[in-house]
């Protein structure tokens, strides 16, 4: 089980997220690794790319991107060759339509993350303002959030993903699961600056189904196996 909630160091957090990646996407292979990375990379990104920089999608991608973390319909984490350095700052992430970018600092262990661009003022996404916002999550925490949510929402990363239609039976099973579900990550930061669509809680249920409980209480379910019995 992935003890992301209790990981306190960068190294622990990356070990746990690597364990999740191997579970969801398949056993690790040396061909997924990257070397010759820019020495200015902060430690979480360095560790992430070293082991998973060339990890493909779970399924055949629908777009032009190659790696599971790049995103097609969701937010994009850049592959290492697309990272943009500017002084002591690093642009490593972008909103899926390019409305804003994610920045962090170079030469630091676990630096803060900023968003810069056209950002919603609150959870309703009603009004956007041009601003720069520092998030509450550090870079390693942000990477965990991204990996989990891109695994749930990207159609090329989930063999089954049910969030566009009501799934009352599955929701009922989830609420009754009790000992069969575990909170593996909590990104509930509504009262603080947060990344749009990247708030809420992520559970692993029945050891095979990822569940995102959003900030509004909606439930999104995903599995990496089309024959998962809980979706039948």
Q: Could you give phi then psi for residue 219, rounded to 5 degrees?
A: -115, 130
Dist CA 42 CA 90 (whole Å): 9
pLDDT higher than threshold 90 for residue 56: yes
- Asked if residues 104 and 38 have their Cβ atoms less than 8 Å apart, the reply is no
pLDDT of residue 212: 93
**For residue 164, what pLDDT is reported?**
44
**Neighbour count for residue 110 (Cβ, 10 Å):** 17
As to burial, measured by CB atoms within 10 angstroms (0-12 exposed, 13-18 middle, 19+ buried), residue 168 is exposed
- What secondary structure, in 3-state letters, does 101-113 show? EEEEECCCCCCEE
Q: What helix, strand, coil percent values describe the chain, rounded to 5? A: 25, 30, 45
Which residue shows structure tokens 């560790």?
47
* pLDDT of residue 186 exceeding 70: yes
pLDDT of residue 140: 96
Question: What's the rounded mean pLDDT across residues 119-148?
Answer: 82
Among candidate residues 135, 156, 154, the one with its CA nearest the CA of residue 199: 135
pLDDT: is 64 or 93 the higher one? 93
Please report, rounded to a whole number, the percentage of residues in the chain having pLDDT higher than 90.
58
What is the percent of the chain with per-residue pLDDT over 70, rounded to a whole number? 91
Instruction: Give the least confident one: 134-143, 156-165, 182-191.
Output: 156-165
- The whole-number pLDDT of residue 61 equals 80
- Of the CA atoms within 13 Å of residue 187, those in its CB half-sphere come to 28
pLDDT band for position 166 (50/70/90)?
Answer: very low
Domain segments of the chain as ranges: 10-231
Mean pLDDT on 60-84: 88
Closest CA to 228 of 205, 195, 212: 205
Q: Is the pLDDT of residue 92 over 80?
A: yes
pLDDT given for residue 115 in this prediction: 93
| 86 backbone dihedrals φ, ψ, rounded to 5° | -145, 100
| CB burial string 113-151: b at 16+ within 10 A, e below | bbbebebeeeeeeeeeeeeeeebebbbbbbbbbbbbbbb
pLDDT at 203: 95
């Amino acid at each position: 089980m992935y003890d992301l909630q209790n990981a306190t160091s960068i190294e622990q957090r990356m070990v746990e997220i690597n364990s999740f990646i191997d579970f969801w996407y398949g056993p690790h292979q040396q061909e997924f690794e990257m070397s010759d990375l820019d020495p200015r990379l902060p430690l979480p990104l360095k560790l992430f790319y070293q082991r998973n920089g060339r990890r493909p999608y779970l399924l055949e991608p629908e777009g032009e991107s190659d790696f599971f973390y790049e995103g097609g319909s969701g937010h994009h984490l850049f592959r290492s060759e697309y990272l943009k350095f500017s002084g002591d700052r690093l642009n490593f992430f972008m909103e899926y339509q390019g409305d804003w970018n994610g920045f962090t600092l170079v030469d630091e262990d676990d630096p803060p993350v900023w968003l810069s661009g056209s950002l919603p003022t609150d959870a309703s996404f009603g009004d956007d303002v041009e601003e720069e916002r520092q998030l509450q999550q550090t870079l390693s925490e942000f990477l965990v959030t991204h990996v989990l949510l891109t695994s749930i929402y990207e159609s090329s990363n989930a063999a089954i993903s049910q969030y566009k239609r009501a799934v009352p039976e599955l929701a009922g099973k989830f609420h009754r699961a009790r000992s069969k579900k575990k909170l593996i990550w909590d990104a509930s930061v509504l009262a603080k600056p947060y990344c749009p669509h990247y708030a809420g809680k992520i559970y692993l249920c029945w050891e095979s189904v990822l569940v995102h409980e959003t900030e509004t209480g909606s439930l999104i379910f995903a599995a990496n196996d089309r024959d998962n019995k809980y979706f039948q």
